[in-house]
Amino acid sequence: MSVVLSIQNLSKNYGQVQALNNVSFDVPKGSVFGILGPNGSGKTTMLGIVMDVLNASSGKFLWNGEEGSTHTMRKNIGTLLETPNFYHYLSAKKNLEIAAAIKEKGKEEIPTVLEKVNLLERQHSKFSTYSLGMKQRLAIASTLLGNPDILVFDEPTNGLDPAGIAEIRELMKDLNRQGKTIIMASHILDEVEKVCTHVAIIQKGVLKTTGTVNEVLSGSTQQNQITVSSIELAAENIAALEAVLREIAGISNIVIESGSITIDAEESINPAKLNQLCFDKGIVLSQLQLKKKSLEKRFLEITGGKSDR
């Protein structure tokens, strides 16, 4: 696996406040990597450090195997860390010409990047006439100038309505299909689950878990070696079924609702084995379904559902 960004034992202190505490993980090339955490968890601080906006208190990071980030390296990474600073009275094209001049490259690519974000037909419209989703797409177009292979975004859908969020979601997927590695910090769990291939969950500056989205959903990450599945069951006698389930080792979080029971089961308790265990106890199941956990549920399990502020 080729690694684009390696974060190694990164810590950051602001006086007595520890914003990051010994965080380590790798971002694979070609991934859409979500850095997920409650507001105040340290996500923005981490992105600021790897983009050389902030200095780490300890630890290091490597871009493509090289420690730190040189000026040349940073110029080859498209970055959106804050609200885009465009001139409201200028057109999209004029604003990108200014951005290209600042970057000292990419002016000839303006039509191409506008087409990628579906704004070519509105290139001569003033920025002030754009919707929030269009403004964010223009900001992303600016990060594409120079055709960087790596894109870094901090809360790219922040403040957008559902339509704007959907626009950015599809754009992220399309850019990834074009070969871009995307690193994005977010607290919107649904968007991370729909867009990202990998995720790291941070709480109060501490890395809680990291892996592919599927690994995090199943619980089979390095920080949590026990794989847990969610299974829904039903039988004619719900009370008897509940009593049997409570006797089986490896089953937890038994919830009864609407005539069925949902449980969390360790990897050793698969549906086939569960069906046999219930049958041996005289319980004939009328329903047995393996359910996919949502990232929201796993996030709440891992973080306890509390904000870091």
pLDDT above 50 (res 65): yes
What does the pLDDT read at residue 220?
52
What does the pLDDT read at residue 181?
95
Q: What is the pLDDT of residues 286-306, one digit of tens each?
A: 998 877 655 666 666 666 655
Give the side-chain half-sphere CA count within 13 A for 9: 2
Pairing of strands 198-203, 32-36: parallel
What does the pLDDT read at residue 222?
44
Average pLDDT over residues 83-93: 88
Give the side-chain half-sphere CA count within 13 A for 246: 9
Structure tokens at 124: 């001569």
More confident residue, 154 or 219: 154
Q: Where in the chain is the domain with CATH 3.30.70.100?
A: 228-300
**What is the CATH T-level fold of the domain 228-300, as seen in this structure?**
Alpha-Beta Plaits (3.30.70)
Under 8 Å between Cβ of 84 and 155: no
The SS3 assignment for 302 reads helix
- Sign of CA pseudo-dihedral 295, 301, 303, 305: positive
- Percent share of the chain, pLDDT over 90: 43
Q: What is the pLDDT of residues 203-241, one digit of tens each?
A: 889 998 898 887 777 665 444 444 567 788 999 999 999
- In angstroms, the first-to-last Cα distance of the chain is 36
Q: Where in the chain is the domain with CATH 3.40.50.300?
A: 3-218
**Backbone angles phi and psi of 112, in degrees to 5:** -65, -45
β-sheet bridge partners, residue 185: 35, 154
pLDDT above 90 (res 168): no
Domain 3-218 is in which class? alpha beta
Q: What is the pLDDT of residues 252-275, one digit of tens each?
A: 888 898 889 988 887 778 888 889
Confidence class for position 123, pLDDT limits 50, 70, 90: very high
The SS3 assignment for 152 reads strand
Under 8 Å between Cβ of 77 and 151: yes
What does the pLDDT read at residue 224?
43
Q: How far is Cα 236 from Cα 243, in angstroms, rounded to an integer?
A: 13
Q: How far is Cα 165 from Cα 156, in angstroms, rounded to an integer?
A: 9
Over the chain, what is the mean pLDDT?
85
What does the pLDDT read at residue 292?
60
pLDDT above 60 (res 157): yes
